[in-house]
Structure 1
């Protein structure tokens, strides 16, 4: 793996979880701890993270005058390029929950675009506001693809806004897959992008079964707004390395937890 690719993945990991140890990064990237230490030193020298004893930490953002301002958004392509293998595992396991003939709503995001890839060749209807999902399924005659309208968010390959939400209000899906920026220790589903939250809530209201998909970087959760309480979720598909305490809490609340 090239150093630039490794550095991008390290920065993505630290940005997602706040802090990562040398050993965690070494295991995740399958490189030596000595290589990780050199990478962290280089990124610290560039001012892109803080080198701390035993690992690396995200650089704190200065407070803004607007307390509810959205966090700076990472472009879809950057997120996709730095995604790790557990997202693919989550997507494959999630796609197994879909039966032929299902009406499936796919939220926007990198994990749901990977689910779309797994649904190629299936006799299902897919409803989405994600242009990444469109790209995955546009040439597949087996899938009936319904693209929601809305305002284009070029940076994240998606459609959002009142038109998107109104379209969802008239739908009744068999199953929906929803992404998240984080899951709080009490099971609350969070998101950092304000404009996405109303659409996520509309997806949840439109589906008979709601499946939350999350890799281990979404535990513990961070986010500006609450998307829903855990009671709105029927199933969670999560990577095996996700926070055990949060998964136990969700299971105790009656949510089906499936490990990828």
Structure 2
């Protein structure tokens, strides 16, 4: 597993389960104890966790997993976001998924004449003062930790709209090209977003290849474009291209 992907998963484990030992993290992530210790040192120096004897614990004053993930590979996500923004044409209706990369895409759309549809409160915060951007916020149940709206109301709202293109996030892409997610409650919303859009652009940094996730969002054939920041793992890249997906490496 790539280092950045391990870092992201370590933060998620600490956030959801609390303090963890080096032994536990090594077992969960199928890594050596020495590798996990190096990871904890780096994450501790970056202020993303607190190191304790034999392991680590989450930072007490950080109660937002969205923030934890947002600080992982931020420069790479910005590069992906800039390339995605270049795909968008003025006057289009763009559907933005939840997630930190989609949020960064929203930053790149400032000053554009667009309509943005989203269930992400982070995207709303980013664009609510942009006079040229019409923002449509989907309804639903609030997931405070992830700054998103989910549930049957969100899905029903998506059946009433149409977007020229969707910027879709993911927890990981399996070697067969299947798009996965670790949060089951988000999967029906993502599927409804795909159904509401003419073009699906998947944003995935290198840590998502191969990625994790217990629930399948879609098949590779449901995608049109994948934008990533490094060469895609060969098996996955072959599966995507066989399905007719354009892979853009930034």
Give your verdict on TM over 0.5: yes
Q: Which moved more, 1:240-249 or 1:196-205?
A: 240-249
Q: Which runs of 5+ in 1 are unaligned?
A: 1-7, 26-34, 50-72
Report the equivalent of 2:8.
12
**Aligned partners of 1:175, 1:10: CA distance in 2, in Å?**
31
Cα RMSD for the two superposed structures: 3.1
Deviations 1:162-183 (CA, angstroms, capped at 9, x unpaired): 0000000111110001100000
Q: Which aligned pairs between 1:88-107 and structure 2 lie closer than 5 A?
A: 88-107=78-97
1:47 aligns with 2:37: no
Residues 5 and 207 of structure 2 are in contact (CA less than 8 Å); yes or no, is this contact kept in structure 1? no
Q: Which runs of 5+ in 2 are unaligned?
A: 13-27, 45-50, 58-62
CA distance 1:74–1:12, change in 2 (3 Å) = farther
Report the equivalent of 2:133.
143
CA distance 1:175–1:20, change in 2 (3 Å) = farther
Residues 231 and 253 of structure 1 are in contact (CA less than 8 Å); yes or no, is this contact kept in structure 2? yes
1:118 aligns with 2:108: yes
Matched residues, number: 219
* Secondary structure of the structure 2 residue equivalent to 1:164: helix
Residues 181 and 212 of structure 2 are in contact (CA less than 8 Å); yes or no, is this contact kept in structure 1? yes
Report the equivalent of 2:224.
234
Residues 215 and 242 of structure 1 are in contact (CA less than 8 Å); yes or no, is this contact kept in structure 2? no
1:247 Cα offset (Å): 1.6
Residues 107 and 200 of structure 1 are in contact (CA less than 8 Å); yes or no, is this contact kept in structure 2? yes
Report the equivalent of 2:214.
224
**Aligned partners of 1:233, 1:147: CA distance in 2, in Å?**
24
**Aligned partners of 2:170, 2:77: CA distance in 1, in Å?**
12
Residues 183 and 222 of structure 1 are in contact (CA less than 8 Å); yes or no, is this contact kept in structure 2? yes
**Aligned partners of 2:105, 2:39: CA distance in 1, in Å?**
34
Report the equivalent of 1:192.
182
CA distance 1:47–1:256, change in 2 (3 Å) = same
Q: Scaled by the length of structure 1, what TM-score is found?
A: 0.75
